[in-house]
Structure 1
Amino acid sequence: MGTTGATGTATDPAAAATPPVRPGPAAPAGPADPAFWRLPAAERDAVFATLRSLPGPVFYGERPPKGPGRGFHALVRHADVVEAGRNPAVFLSGPGVTTPEPARWVRLLFGDSMVNLDDPRHAQLRRIVSRAFTPRLIARVEDDIRAVAARLVDRVERERPEDFVTSVAAELPFQVICNMMGIPEEPRRAILDQVNHASEHTGVARPLRRRLRMPGRGLLALARMQGMVAELGRERRRRPTEDLISALVTADVDGRRLTGRELGAFFSLLLVAGVETTRNALAHGLHLLTVHPGQRALLLGDLDGRLGGAVDEIVRHSTPIIQFRRTLAVDHRLGGPDGTLLRAGEKVVLYFASANRDEAVFTDPDAFDITRSPNPHLGFGGGGPHYCLGAHLARQEMKVLFRELFTRFPEARSVGEPELVPSNFDHRVRSLRFTL
């Protein structure tokens, strides 16, 4: 792995003389083009496979208004994504991890999400949050997941809804997070509406007229959502209970507690990330187990023994979060002394969706195989300090829901193809018809 000196220059003496790897005229068109994300999944996977076969990461220029010379290196190999994820002093999150990066005024107004922070501030906030997740709280959440899953399957049996996403996949993580945070029942529908408005256009290319007409809708939804939780935080400081908001606003780590704005930013992250990613993984999972009957039979033959492997393979195969962005703090050689030279200030995009199909790591990577072992997928990030805080919660929710559903309705399956949203950020499922 490449090393860097404290002055911000590469320690490799040849670094300054060796230019970074740039694409030639034959480099494949790809993820910088919004049209790429409207291609069928198989075509996108083929492009990523081609990119992985190249000697180094391809640099993609971005269109205006980014300006000339602006762009990013596409990190598509498993090893490169892991290196970037586990080297936070070189690959910074602070400038922004989403595409496009959040505007400075937005961050000042709403506060920084932990995904857009670097140490020491990131470590400080993460310690506060980790302290709040006590063993007692975790045990209560696991009991609650089982109770919520049972109620949802009861309702499915009673009402026979057509859409798995709205009736099951979105409801489970949303209700679990609201229960965990201590959100009263009355405002929950309004909060869910705000979550949907805040995330519906993330990573989605829109016509100019819609960008001009709708720029504030997601921000307004975010403001309303954060306002709701800030008020709850103030109430819990006065009268704490046993929920997560109380733990967050009363936790004292090195004399530090979450402020109201930090609480709002964390709640927004937890809802948007926790609900969206688990919702999409559950929907993809039901469809994958429908169109791969052999794998479904394996799972139903040993639910307790196979569920853990099935959940990890669903996450690998579907990769709910497609990519995150990083910014180089210093010059760095990716992959070691002979690797690609990346310059300070340049951008890289970590394509988890490509890393999870890397032939160098996964045998027959396009196959859906719930017996795959080991399965070092990057569905929860590339490791390091930004590894997903909710990974354990998401796994538990998926295992409990599929156990409840398939124990009671072993013939439950999707009907037709899922309706997907062409996003460059998450592998989003808008709807999925299903039957018991």
Structure 2
Amino acid sequence: MDTTTGRPASAGARPGATSRSGSSPASGSAPDLADPGFWQLPAPARAAAFAELRRRPTPLYVGDRAGGRGYHALVRHADVVEASRTPAVFRSAPGVTTPEPPRWVRALFGDSMVNLDDPRHAQLRRVISRAFTPRLLSGAEDDIRRVATRLVDVVERDRPEDFVTAVAAELPFQVICNLMGIPERPRRAILDQVNHASEHTGVARPLRSRLRVPGRGLAALARMQLMVAAIGRRRRSAPADDLITALVTADVDGRRLTGRELGAFFSLLLVAGVETTRNALAHGLHLLTAHPDQRALLLDDLDGRLGGAVDEMVRHATPIIQFRRTLAVDHELGGPGGPLLRAGEKAVLFFGSANRDETVFADPDAFDIMRTPNPHLGFGGGGPHYCLGAHLARQEMKVLFRELFTRLPGLRSVGGPDLVPSNFDNRVRSLRFTF
């Protein structure tokens, strides 16, 4: 589905058209997923290209396999799940982004959890999971309601024009800062650093025909990590009832987060938690506007259907488009006799394509809030790297949409979202709205 127009993803695609600038591939030919021009195509053309890739008997290899450059494009639901749940074969290190973070960056800023494998990943995840106590999570749910109520108060009073800056970005940012215990004073500066650090993630460089490395805003990242590391040092001597205190004082098998690990986790939580939820909320509002029948279904039973609606928004929009893995050993995909992926080669997991797999989802391009089952991979394909914040993101979306549509039932987007052409995330720069 094209979330800009509300048309099915097959509409508007032109079979037979092809060019070096990323135009739709001819039937049976392969699109160049490494070409920034491909990611600037209209959503229907890209969806049609991925549908063609899913029909191929083996995964497309993008790049020069003989020269050791490139990757296997995993576009089917089953293949993405297999790669996600077989971490001994599909390794996250040295990095899941494209290209991988340089060694000096990892040495300076620390390794993000998404780029780690066991046993280090398991150790960090145990510390962080133990810090998310029932009491902390219960307080977070109460806080989500308070933040959502305050944001809708502002919308009613000030009638802002951009849903992204006024609502969709503000909710997850404030909730995460409250959860972590970040003081009010540095929050605006931190949000500026988040936006600067992530603004070019997966976006084509204006003067070069290749994609930017996620995290190019290294100075912004450094400032953000220094801020939270300083707060962590203060919490060790003066504990508070917040997540930073829990992370720096936790003792799990003699392990707690160091200042650098805390900074790396905070950066991941902000960039991943804020950006992905922001984009899912913005796409969700526009999808409900573009599909009045689904909106009517939702408003007819808001409490009963909101959970299903949120999952369908996440499936349909798929905030994170792709992650990369490195083969640790030779592996036959799908079992004996399957395509052979060799040790050292790369595989890219295309979550957006997996979420439109015709063998898993009936009428996959339709936006259907009653879809059941809905085994989408919007939070990952399972396994050790399944999103830690999935529950929090779902709660944020459910609480906000409940507050919005209870108090402002006429809320709707105006025109389509202003999308950032990216190969990494399905990013919305702005979305006009009214009520």
Q: Output the TM-score relative to the length of structure 1.
A: 0.91
Counterpart residue number, 1:247: 246
The alpha-carbon distance between structure 1 residues 210 and 172, as it changes in their structure 2 partners (threshold 3 A), is farther
Counterpart residue number, 1:160: 159
Counterpart residue number, 1:189: 188
The alpha-carbon distance between structure 1 residues 351 and 435, as it changes in their structure 2 partners (threshold 3 A), is same
**How many angstroms apart in 2 are the aligned matches of 1:281 and 1:177?**
16
Runs of 4+ in 1 over 2 A off after TM superposition: 66-69, 207-211, 213-217
Displacement after TM superposition at 1:123 (Å): 0.2
Counterpart residue number, 1:121: 120
Contact 1:307 1:399 in 2 (8 A): yes
2:362 maps to amino acid: T
The alpha-carbon distance between structure 1 residues 183 and 344, as it changes in their structure 2 partners (threshold 3 A), is same
**How many angstroms apart in 2 are the aligned matches of 1:247 and 1:241?**
9
Q: Deviations over 1:48-77 (max 9, x none)?
A: 000000001000007xxx994400000000
Counterpart residue number, 2:15: none
Counterpart residue number, 1:434: 433
User: Superposed, which structure 2 residues align to 1:1-400 within 5 Å?
Assistant: 27-61=29-63, 68-208=67-207, 218-400=217-399
Q: Deviations over 1:403-434 (max 9, x none)?
A: 00000011100000100000000000000000
Contact 1:323 1:426 in 2 (8 A): yes
Q: Secondary structure at the match of 1:99?
A: coil
Q: Secondary structure at the match of 1:367?
A: coil
1:350 maps to amino acid: L
Contact 1:30 1:47 in 2 (8 A): no
1:36 maps to amino acid: F
**How many angstroms apart in 1 are the aligned matches of 2:346 and 2:208?**
29
Q: Secondary structure at the match of 2:349?
A: strand
2:432 maps to amino acid: R
1:83 maps to amino acid: E
**How many angstroms apart in 2 are the aligned matches of 1:316 and 1:290?**
17
**How many angstroms apart in 2 are the aligned matches of 1:33 and 1:209?**
11
Displacement after TM superposition at 1:215 (Å): 11
Contact 1:75 1:348 in 2 (8 A): yes
Q: Deviations over 1:235-265 (max 9, x none)?
A: 0001010100000000001101100000000
Displacement after TM superposition at 1:338 (Å): 1.6
Displacement after TM superposition at 1:207 (Å): 2.5
Q: Could you say what the CA RMSD is over the residues aligned between the two structures, in angstroms?
A: 1.9
Q: Deviations over 1:368-391 (max 9, x none)?
A: 000000000000001000000000
**How many angstroms apart in 2 are the aligned matches of 1:240 and 1:91?**
39
**How many angstroms apart in 1 are the aligned matches of 2:259 and 2:100?**
23
Q: Secondary structure at the match of 1:371?
A: coil
Contact 2:62 2:70 in 1 (8 A): yes
2:115 maps to amino acid: N
Q: Secondary structure at the match of 2:217?
A: helix
1:186 maps to amino acid: R
Q: Secondary structure at the match of 1:275?
A: helix
1:190 maps to amino acid: A
Q: Secondary structure at the match of 1:59?
A: strand
Name stretches of at least 5 consecutive residues in structure 1 with no aligned partner. 1-24
**How many angstroms apart in 2 are the aligned matches of 1:336 and 1:344?**
16
Q: Secondary structure at the match of 1:73?
A: strand
Q: Secondary structure at the match of 2:364?
A: coil
**How many angstroms apart in 2 are the aligned matches of 1:359 and 1:210?**
32
Counterpart residue number, 1:16: none
Q: Secondary structure at the match of 2:324?
A: strand
Q: Secondary structure at the match of 1:270?
A: helix
Counterpart residue number, 2:16: none
- Count of residue pairs the alignment pairs up: 409
Counterpart residue number, 2:3: none
**How many angstroms apart in 2 are the aligned matches of 1:341 and 1:148?**
50
Name stretches of at least 5 consecutive residues in structure 2 with no aligned partner. 1-26
Displacement after TM superposition at 1:29 (Å): 1.6
Q: Secondary structure at the match of 2:311?
A: helix
Q: Deviations over 1:100-131 (max 9, x none)?
A: 11111100100000000000000000000000
Contact 1:280 1:320 in 2 (8 A): yes
Displacement after TM superposition at 1:216 (Å): 9.1
Q: Output the TM-score relative to the length of structure 2.
A: 0.92
Q: What is the identity percentage for the equivalent residue pairs of Structure 1 and Structure 2?
A: 81
Q: Secondary structure at the match of 1:183?
A: coil
Counterpart residue number, 1:12: none
**How many angstroms apart in 2 are the aligned matches of 1:142 and 1:216?**
30
**How many angstroms apart in 2 are the aligned matches of 1:313 and 1:394?**
14
Counterpart residue number, 2:412: 413
Displacement after TM superposition at 1:226 (Å): 0.1
